[in-house]
Amino acid sequence: MAGPALPARITFHGAAGEVTGSRHLLEAGGARVLLDCGLFQGRRAEAAAKNRNSPFDPASLSAVLLSHAHIDHCGLLPRLAGDGFKGPVYATRETADLVAIMLADSARLQELDAKFFNKIHADDGERIEPLYGEKEADLAVSLLRPCAPGDVISPSPGLRARFLNAGHVLGSAMIQIDMETPAGPRRLLYTGDLGRREVPLMKAPEPPPDVDYLVLESTYGGRTHAPSSEIDAELGRLLRKAAAEKGKIIIPAFALERSQEIIVALDRLRNDPSMPEIPVYVDSPMAINITEIFNKHLGGFSFDREFKAYARKDGDPFGFDFIKYARSKEESQALNTRPGPMIIISASGMCEGGRILHHLRNNIADPSATVLIVGYQAAGTLGRRLQDGQKKVRIFGLQHEVAAEIRTMPHFSSHADRDDALAFVKGLDRKPGKIFLVHGEDSQRDALAEALKAEGCGAPEKPGHGESFVLD
């Protein structure tokens, strides 16, 4: 027998006043569900504190609902599983396929980074343990429950959830939750990461249903993006420069989505006979595996009609015919001594680990090299320090002079900007009772809060880390 419903409550355990570490606990309708279980990325000490200590008992959760496969949304699942969570992890089919790859890679990176850090610090005695390993990643993957569009997920009789296209990356979804509360039925929509109205490859986000509560991301809440129609001209200019100077273009890119978007742009530029042909290396085994998942789901709900048509016509939209994919360590290391021009696409996207660190270490002091930043760089990461113009950076604990040109190309962003977010909220027939702004640094979410207020949406909540709200 169900007793009287307890008040519904949401607690923000990450991505509150910052971008990474999305983890929101919703207690409603007799269930305790975690919306995303993301890794916090940033300075080592803060990351250790936020990632290693769970603010709730993992075994007490009924289910996890995943918005998408980026590591700052799913990267703490292995830790959750290792700490006793045994329930289902619901995700779209695409996301489930991608998460398996992302977590295996993340576990490997955690182990490698700890090993490398301990080696570098052998003399000063500083040691770290990996956050998790392969065993915990496998455990997390075994809990995944892939869902089809339209599936209704019901972890308890008083709570039903479904996924709606978020238009951010392959498989990305918003999560709609209908819950019983003492005040009656209530609906909450968690956008996860929200896509743009127009962006390469992706279908625009689904128009939102009417909701009582909206948990909205605000990564670029104070900005408007350069249009993606400028990508070819800007990228073409950099290709010509690299060809003339025989320079290397190093692109730190998220293996999920950003790598594929750049590959498709380079594939398209090859149709221009005036463009110099520069060798392109994708030096990321994970990007290769993920590109195969993209091919598998070409007919799925994420891609827009235009890209589907291009893919059909091109037959090889991810350039398997001209791009050299470096799988082995030896193939990767061979790039160090090979002369430019060349383009190297490698992960991690915020230069926090992986092969990109070796390419940066080898090229950062070379004035003919370009580091092309094409994705979000969180505060405290090496990518952000480069983007901010620091002249000296530490890589693997050692100091390097920055002589390479650092260029940011914001056109590729797969996050809604201020105008996209406002258009999304205006798409609601009635204004939500309350908007919670998450997944944005303070300057960005303050700007979005002001813009929403000006649209008559009241004053959105800007939850702090660990802050809790009753949904009545």
Residues at the site binding Zn ion, with contacts judged by CB under 5 A: 70, 193
Instruction: Supply the DSSP symbol for 417.
Output: B
Nearer to Zn ion, 189 or 342 (CB): 189
To Zn ion, the closest distance from the beta carbon of 149 in angstroms equals 19
Nearer to Zn ion, 14 or 155 (CB): 14
Instruction: Please compute, for residue 308, the number of CA atoms within 13 A of its CA located in the half-sphere on the CB side.
Output: 12
Token readout for 82 is 């290792």
To Zn ion, the closest distance from the beta carbon of 56 in angstroms equals 23
Instruction: Calculate the alpha carbon distances from 370 to 249, 274, 322, 345, 364 in Å.
Output: 5, 22, 22, 12, 8
Exposed, middle or buried by CB within 10 Å (0-12, 13-18, 19+), for 28? buried
To Zn ion, the closest distance from the beta carbon of 193 in angstroms equals 4
To Zn ion, the closest distance from the beta carbon of 375 in angstroms equals 10
Nearer to Zn ion, 27 or 36 (CB): 36
Exposed, middle or buried by CB within 10 Å (0-12, 13-18, 19+), for 13? buried
Nearer to Zn ion, 74 or 278 (CB): 74
What is the Cα–Cα distance from 213 to 156, expressed in whole angstroms?
20
Nearer to Zn ion, 70 or 355 (CB): 70
CB 41 within 8 A of CB 47: yes
Give residue 459's Cα distance to chain centre. 27
What is the Cα–Cα distance from 261 to 202, expressed in whole angstroms?
10
Exposed, middle or buried by CB within 10 Å (0-12, 13-18, 19+), for 258? buried
Nearer to Zn ion, 113 or 193 (CB): 193
Instruction: Supply the DSSP symbol for 303.
Output: B
What is the Cα–Cα distance from 58 to 297, expressed in whole angstroms?
32
To Zn ion, the closest distance from the beta carbon of 288 in angstroms equals 20
Nearer to Zn ion, 105 or 180 (CB): 105
Nearer to Zn ion, 188 or 256 (CB): 256
**Which residues does 60 contact at the CB level (< 8 Å), separation at least 6?**
32
To Zn ion, the closest distance from the beta carbon of 350 in angstroms equals 12
What does the DSSP assignment read for 62-114?
A: SEEE-S---HHHHTTHHHHHHTT--S-EEEEHHHHHHHHHHHHHHHHHHHHHH
To Zn ion, the closest distance from the beta carbon of 376 in angstroms equals 8
Token readout for 192 is 């996860």
Nearer to Zn ion, 70 or 248 (CB): 70
To Zn ion, the closest distance from the beta carbon of 210 in angstroms equals 25
To Zn ion, the closest distance from the beta carbon of 397 in angstroms equals 29
